Amino acid sequence: MPQNGEFFVELMFSEVSSRKCIFAFLILVMINSEKDFIPSSYDFPKVSGTVKWEAPSNIALVKYWGKKEKQIPANPSVSFTLSESKTITEVIFSRKEHTNSFSFDFSFEGQPKPDFHPKIEQFFHRIELYLPFLKAYHFTIHSHNTFPHSSGIASSASAMAALSLCLMDIERKFTEISDELFYKKASFLARLGSGSACRSIQGTPIVWGEHSAIAQSSDLYGVSLDFEIHENFKNYQDTILLVDVGQKQVSSTVGHDLMHNHPFAQKRFEQAHQNLSDILEVFKSGDYQMFVNIVEGEALTLHAMMMTSNPYFILMKPNTLEIINRIWKFRELTKIPVCFTLDAGANVHVLYPDNYKNEVLSFIKNELAVFCHNGQFITDQTGAGAHKIH
Ligand code: DP6
């Protein structure tokens, strides 16, 4: 398979006519290794200011489970970017003496959160090479989520995406950055905070990880598809059923790690490549049946990997299974192409087309809510990606 760079060079000679296109392609050719995200040197002015961004959560259809060093995924994944479930982050920056340490305060939903400091410190260490100004400023970070904190919804994706965008916005004050590079680098940085966060920058669907059918795909950041998805998948609905709101017994990071020496790992990674090829066809054809088949298969395979790790673990709860069975029955009875997916937890994402919203929502209220913690669920749908807040 040609490397991204070679592919774009070929394209440049064969198809590209206008100067603008050549420039766009040159940028793509240039950004294909980690080094391309290290900026050329710039000054750190004695300025202060505030930047604010909101970034959405995302739900994977083909799952990322297993990684190599430096947050490189073991297989490619694809997700729908969500719309309502978001993190909103404000960063106030002020010049300090350029020392050898990071300086920041962090508050979540108005409360100082020192227990979040190690995660942010680790993130800053990982991205320092790419954002050389980090040790020259003090940062006051305020963050909050639009979804309940103790909902069991992974907020690291939206949180890392929002923080990365804020930091990129600060860098943009010191040096010129094209929009193309801005969003790619934000995704690149977010990935270093939490892998799936790189899929929370732009609108739906987003592919992360190299795949032979997607020329622009990369292990380093998420990319949009270069074709228009079928109408059937526009405004796709995701209702998140909150089955278990407690702390997960096994973190995603530990779960990813257990894919090393996992007896089924190799087959699983191959399967993810195939499922991604297949779902790309589904995005073109609008085939609901294939969509349901791939998405539910992926969710159950993810949990099968957990159950066959060593040590093994189960994150689904009895109510997760109850809900899955009821969705299957409802689908059989009504022929509505509603399906489920799961993250690394017990909550169930119910996915369905926009035009069946009324039927599916009443089914959820009447039959599924009873299996949720305090009857809670969150209605969401696919969205356009992160935004700057002025
Ligand atoms: C099951 O992105 O949370 O949600 O890179 O260690 O932060 P880290 O893991 P994380 O893993 C997400 C796993 C998943 C599947 C997915 O979103 O693709």
pTM of the predicted protein model? 0.92
Is 204 a domain residue? Answer: yes
Count CB neighbours of 313 within 10 A: 14
Measuring from atom 3 of ligand 1, which residue has the nearest CA? Answer: 252
- 238 and 217 housed in the same domain: no
**CATH number of domain containing 324:** 3.30.70.890
Are both 7 and 69 inside the same structural domain? no
> Are residues 181 and 291 located together in one domain of the fold?
no
Query: Measuring from each residue's beta carbon to the nearest atom of ligand 1, which residues come in under 6 Å?
Result: 60, 63-65, 71, 77, 154, 156, 194-196, 252-253, 256, 302, 343-344
In sequence order, the 6+-apart residues with CB closer than 8 A to the CB of 131 are 167, 171, 189
Tally of domains within the chain: 3
CB-based contacts of 225, cutoff 8 Å, min separation 6: 205, 207, 214, 280, 283
Regarding whether 168 and 60 lie in a shared domain, the answer is: yes
210/240 same-domain check: no
389 lies in a domain? Answer: no
Residue 335's domain spans which residues? Answer: 234-381
Let me know whether 79 and 171 are in one domain.
Answer: yes
In a domain, 386, yes or no: no
242 shares a domain with 213: no
Extended strands (E) in the chain: 48-62, 67-68, 72-73, 77-95, 103-108, 111-112, 137-145, 206-208, 222-224, 237-241, 339-342, 348-352, 377-381, 387-388
Instruction: Indicate the residue type of 77.
Output: S
We report the CATH number of the domain holding residue 213 as 3.30.230.10
User: Do both 131 and 16 map to the same domain?
Assistant: no
The DSSP secondary-structure symbol of 313 reads -
Atom number of ligand 1 nearest to Cα 194: 7
Ligand 1 geometric centre to CA of 81 (Å): 14
Give pLDDT < 70 ranges for the chain. Answer: 1-30, 149-152, 154
Residue 390 lies in a domain: no
281 in a domain, yes or no?
yes
The answer to the question of residue 356 being in a domain is yes
Judgement on whether residues 214 and 239 belong to the same structural domain of the protein: no
Ligand 1 centroid to residue 191 C-alpha, Å: 10
State residue 150's pLDDT score.
64
Q: Distance from the CA of 41 to the center of ligand 1, in angstroms? A: 33
Q: Both 211 and 246 in a single domain?
A: no
| Whole-number average pLDDT of the chain | 92
**35 inside domain:** no
Using the mean position of ligand 1's atoms as its centre, give its distance from the Cα of residue 156 in Å.
9
What distance in angstroms lies between residue 59's CA and the mean position of ligand 1's atoms?
Answer: 10
**Closest residue CA from atom 12 of ligand 1:** 196
Tell me the HSE value of 70 on the side-chain side, using a 13 A CA sphere: 8
Greatest Cα pair distance in the chain: 67
User: Mind listing the pLDDT tens digit for each residue in 42-83?
Assistant: 999 999 999 999 999 999 999 999 999 999 999 999 999 999
Do 186 and 58 fall into the same domain? Answer: yes
The last residue of a domain, from among 165, 199, 224? 224
Same domain, 2 and 77: no
Would residue 259 count as lying in a domain? Answer: yes
